[in-house]
Amino acid sequence: QVQLVESGGGLVQPGGSLRLSCAVSGSFFRFNTMGWYRQAPGKQREPVAVITNGGTTNYADSVKGRFTISTDNAKNTVYLQMNSLKPEDTAVYYCKVVISVNQNYWGQGTQVTVSS
């Protein structure tokens, strides 16, 4: 019964930046992890960045140094700041929240296209 609403996707030129937001609503006190995943055409969905409730972050090697995940706990929102975007970053980006071992929720996805 948790809902995730994503925003911030769009079209950007290589080298540009985007900031994705994911607002999480529902009745829960804490989350285990929040994260961003992406799926490019013809590829499997892959994790991009994950943050724990303690603030520990983990990034895919392909985005390390370019992307930053953060949360605003007061707003129950998770962000993904994406800098130095590359064409290979083009994908549908999904946010995910893990509340407990059997409570995982996904956003509906937002398209990010990096192209000249």
Tens digits of residue pLDDT in 44-66: 999 999 999 889 999 999 999 99
Q: How many Cα neighbours within 13 Å face the side chain of 100?
A: 6
CA distances from 116 to 8, 12, 56, 86, 91 (A): 19, 8, 35, 10, 15
Which residue is associated with the tokens 């079209």? Answer: 11
Confidence of residue 102 (pLDDT cuts 50, 70, 90): confident
**Does residue 73 surpass a pLDDT of 90?**
no
